[in-house]
Chains A and B, each alone.
Chain A
Amino acid sequence: MSSSFPLFPPSASSVATEMDLLYLFITGVCAFFTVVVTLVVVYFTIKYKRRSPNDVGADIHGSLVLELTWTIIPLILSLIMFGWGASLFYRLSRPPSDAMEITVVGKQWMWKVQHPEGVREINELHVPLGHNVRLTLGSEDVIHDFAIPAFRVKIDVVPGKFTTMWFNATQIGTYHIFCAQYCGTKHSGMIGQVIVMTPQDYEAWLAGGRSTGSAAQNGERLFADLSCITCHKADATGRGPSLIGLYGSTVQLADGRKVVADDNYLRESIMNSQAKIVQGFQPIMPAFQTQISEENLLQLLAYLKSLKPATAAPAPAHEK
C-alpha cells in the first residue's frame, strides 16, 4: 500500500500473478476498443459536422463484409477470454490432494477458524508460507462470502452445504479477509486477517495455541457421544454401513444411483439421513438436522475422512 493511488492489491498467492495477467489482458482489449471507437465517433462528429441546415448524409445502407468483420473479431476475442477464464476457474476449484485442511464457519458477524490440530481462532487465519491450504467452509445462518483479495480467492459460504477454496500463500504478511456477500447489519464488520508465516513460525504458533485435541479426535468423540458408533461399526456387522474408507469412494444407493461420498454427501447423510439410502440398508437413521452445529459437523467430517481402510496405516487427518 505504498502508493496513495493504489491500483492492485498485494500479490500474495500462487494464482495472483496469473489473475493479474488475465486482468491486464482483458483491460488491454477493452481499452483498445474503447479508445478506437471513441476516437472514431468523435472524429466523425467533427469531420462530418452538418454545414447547412438542410444537409443530408450520404446514401449508405450497410456492408456485409464490415458486419461479418465486427461480428467475428469480438466473437474470437470473447472466446479467448472465456477459455482463459474457465481454465483458471477450473484450477481454482480443484484443491490439490496434498492440501492441508482448515475449516471455517461463518456466522453473523464473525469467522470461526479451526486448524487440523484443533487450534481455533476468530477472525484470523494463520497459514504457512508455500503450503497448499484447503478451506472447507460452512455457515450457521445466512449466506456469507469468504474473500482474500491478496490471494485473488473468494467463495460463497452457504448455509446447508459446504464449499471449498484453496490457495498457496507466497508472501509473508498480513492481508484482509472480507465478507463479500451482504449478510446484514455488520456485514462490513465481518472482516479479518490472514497471517502468512514461515512453516516454522506456523508450527510454533500452533504449539502455542490452546487445543482440545485435533479436529479428527474431537469428531471421534462426537461419533461416540451421538451414538453413531452403535450402528456404524468398523466391520460389516452394524445396522448401518461401515464408514471405513468411505470418504471419496463411490456409494451404491438403494434407488440404483451411484454417488461419490464427498463433503456434501456426508453432510446430507448426517443432517437429512433419509435423502440417500445406501443399498442393502434400512432407512432407520434419525436426522441430525437440528442437533449438530456447523463446527461439530466439520469435526465429524474430519474424523470420517481419517478412517482409512485397514490395509493402509491409520493416518492422522493432517499430514505434512
Chain B
Amino acid sequence: MVMSETIKEARHSYLDAPYGLKSWLLTRDHKRIAMLYLISITIFFMLGGLFAAGIRLELLTPKGDIWSADLYNKMFSMHGVIMVFFFLVPSIPATLGNFFVPIMIGTKDLAFPRINLLSWYLYVIGGVIALIVLAMGGIDTGWTFYTPYSSFASNTNVTLAIVGVFVAGFSSILTGFNFIVTVHRMRAPGMTWFRLPLFVWAQYATSLVMILGTPVVAITLTLVAAERTLHLGIFDPKIGGDPVLFQHLFWFYSHPAVYIMILPGMGVISELVAAMSRKQIFGYGFVAASSLAIAILGFLVWGHHLFVSSQSIYAGMVFSIITMLVAVPSAVKTFNWAATMYKGAVSWESPTFWVVGFMGLFLIGGLTGLYLAAMGMDIALHDTYFVVAHFHYIMVGGAIMAFMGGLHFWWPKMTGRMYNEGLAKAAAVLVFVGFNFTFFPQFILGYLGMPRRYYAYPDEFQVWNVLSSAGASVLGIGYMLVFTYMMYSLFRGEPAPANPWGAKGLEWTTSSPPPTFNFDEDPIVTEPAYDYKPAGSEVIVG
C-alpha cells in the first residue's frame, strides 16, 4: 500500500468531515449510527452492571441487610429491564450489524438510512423514559412483568416503564425491517445468497424474529398498562381476566427474544472462527440453515416457561419436545465451529481468546437448557437459581462474549485504531474466569432449591453465594479493563491497517476506518465467503 493512498483514504474516513455534533446527531451514515448505538448501549450496560453489583453485594450474606427488600426488588427488576431491552436486544444488531451488514454485502448504506436514524432516536427516547422511571424510584415487577402482580399489586411506575419498553421495541422492529430489505435488495453484483457471510445470515434470521415477535410483546405490555390504568379485565382474575394468558403472550415474544440476543452472537462467532483460523467455515450451508431453524423453532417453544404454571400437560409435552429440537441446530453450529479449526491456521491474537471463551460458556449455557426442557426435571429447577445461571450462560457467556469478540475483531475497522493486545487477552481470561465463578455456583444453588429473586435466603446456601459474588467482582474488573484500553485506543491507539488479521470479507478490502460510502469503487464479488486457499493464496496482512 503506497503512502499517497493511505492519506487519501484517511481523508475519506466516515469519522472525518464534517466533524460537528450536529453532523453526528443528524447523520444518515449507518456507521455513525452504529457508533451512536455503541455509546448508548455502553452507558446502559454500565448502569445494568451497577445493579448487578448491588444484587451480588446483598446476596453475600443470608440475611437481607444491605438494602431494603423493596430496593433489592427494584434493583433486580431494573437490572433485567435495562440489560434485556436496552443492552442485549440492540447490542450486536444495532452496533456491529448496523456497521457491517451493508459493508459485508458490498453496498453504501442500509436501504432506509433515515429510518435507521429514527430507530436510534426511538431507542434513546425509550432509554430516557427508562431513566425517568429509575429517577422516580424504578419498578419492582422483574423484567418479566408477570400479571396480576404487575397489573394491580405493584405500586411502582410500571406503566411508564412499559411505555419505555414499547418505544424501544419499535426501534428494534425498524432495525429488523431495514436489514431484511437491505439484504434482499442491495447485495453487490456477484454477492449471491450463498456467498453471504454467515454474520449476515444470522442478522437476517434475527431480523425476522424482531419484526414478528416485538409487536406481540409491545401489545401485551400495553394490555398490562391498560389493565393498570383503565381496569380492563384482561389478566386479573378478580375482574374477569386470566393471569396465565399474560405468560403465553409475554413468552411468545420473550423466548424468541433470547434468539434475538444469541443468534447475532452466533453469527459473529462464525465470522471469527473462519477468519482467525483462515479457513473456509465447515458446513456453511448447515450453519446458515441452523440460524433459520433456530429462528423458526424459537417461536414454537414459549410454553416451556409454563410447565408449572397450570398449563395443560399435553401442551407442555409438545413444547418440551420442540424445545429439545432447538438443541439440535445449536449443537450443529458448535460442532461446525470446532471442525472449522481443524487443520486451520489458528491465530493466537485476542479475538481467538474471546471465541474460545464463548465456545466453553455457550456449550454449558446451551446444554443446561436441556435440564429445563425436560418437563419432570423442570419441576425441581423452575424459578430457581439454576434458571438464572442457565440464561446468564447464554446471554452473558454467549451473547456478550461474542459481542466482545466481534468488537475486538472489528474495532480496528470501526475506529481505525489498534488496542493493546496483551490487555485484551488478559481481559478475555479475566472475564472467562470471573464469569464461571459467578454463575457456575448458581446451578448448584438451583438444584438445592434456592428460588430466584430472593432477597434473603437460608444459611446453607451462603457458601455458593459468596463464591458467586466473588466471581462477579472479577467479572466486573474484566469488563472495566476492556472499557479502559478501548477508550485509550480510541484516542491514542496505533493506526490500524486495512486488514490487520489477514481476513477475507469485503469489510477488509476497504480502508480502516471506511470512507463514508464504504468503498471507493463499487465491489464486485467473484468468490464464495471465506475463500482461503492454501496454494497461491493471496492473503494480505496489513
Q: What residues make up the interface of A, taking CB atoms closer than 8 Å to B?
A: 1, 4-9, 19, 22-23, 26, 29-30, 33-34, 37-38, 40-42, 44-45, 48-51, 53-63, 66-67, 70-71, 74-75, 78-79, 81-82, 84-90, 92-93, 108, 141-143, 145, 147, 149-150, 152-156, 158-161, 163, 176, 178-189, 272, 289-290
Contacts and interface: CB of A to CB of B under 8 A. Distances in A.
Which 5 A/B pairs are nearest by Cβ-Cβ distance? A149-B449, A160-B237, A88-B376, A85-B374, A57-B279
Given A182-B146, A182-B149, A71 B332 contact: yes
B340 to A, nearest CB: 8
A56 B537 contact: yes
Contacts of B384: 180
A79 B328 CA distance: 11
Question: What is the interface residue range for chain B against chain A?
Answer: 35 or more
Contacts of A1: 460
Query: B-side binding surface: helix, strand, loop or mixed?
Result: helix
B114 interface: no
B211 to A, nearest CB: 29
B343 A62 contact: no
B291 interface: no
A152 B384 CA distance: 12
A317 B79 CA distance: 49
A42 B356 contact: yes
Given A5-B463, A86-B374, 15 more contacts: A22-B377, A37-B359, A42-B356, A50-B278, A50-B348, A66-B339, A70-B332, A78-B324, A82-B374, A88-B375, A142-B153, A178-B454, A180-B384, A188-B451, A188-B454
A180 B451 contact: yes
Interface in B332-360: 332, 334-339, 341-348, 352, 356, 359-360
A60 B376 contact: no
Interface in B358-385: 359-360, 363-364, 367-368, 370-371, 373-380, 382-384
B284 to A, nearest CB: 7
B154 to A, nearest CB: 7
Nearest to B150: A142
B259 interface: no
Contact of A89 (B286, B307, B367, B534): B307
A41 B338 contact: yes
B377 A87 contact: no
A159 B148 contact: yes
Nearest to A162: B310
Contacts of A160: 237-238, 241-243
Interface stretch (B22-30, B315-323, B481-489): B315-323
Contact of B380 (A71, A84, A86, A152): A152
15 contacts: A6-B460, A23-B371, A38-B360, A44-B338, A62-B336, A63-B282, A67-B336, A85-B377, A86-B316, A89-B375, A180-B382, A180-B452, A184-B154, A188-B451, A188-B455
Contact of A4 (B240, B280, B284, B463): B463
A61 B449 contact: no
B452 A182 contact: yes
A30 B368 contact: yes
Given A23-B371, A176-B449, A37 B541 contact: no
B277 A57 contact: yes
B142 interface: yes
Interface string B71-86: 0010000000000000
Contacts of B279: 56-58, 60
A53 B502 contact: yes
Contacts of A54: 502, 537, 539, 541
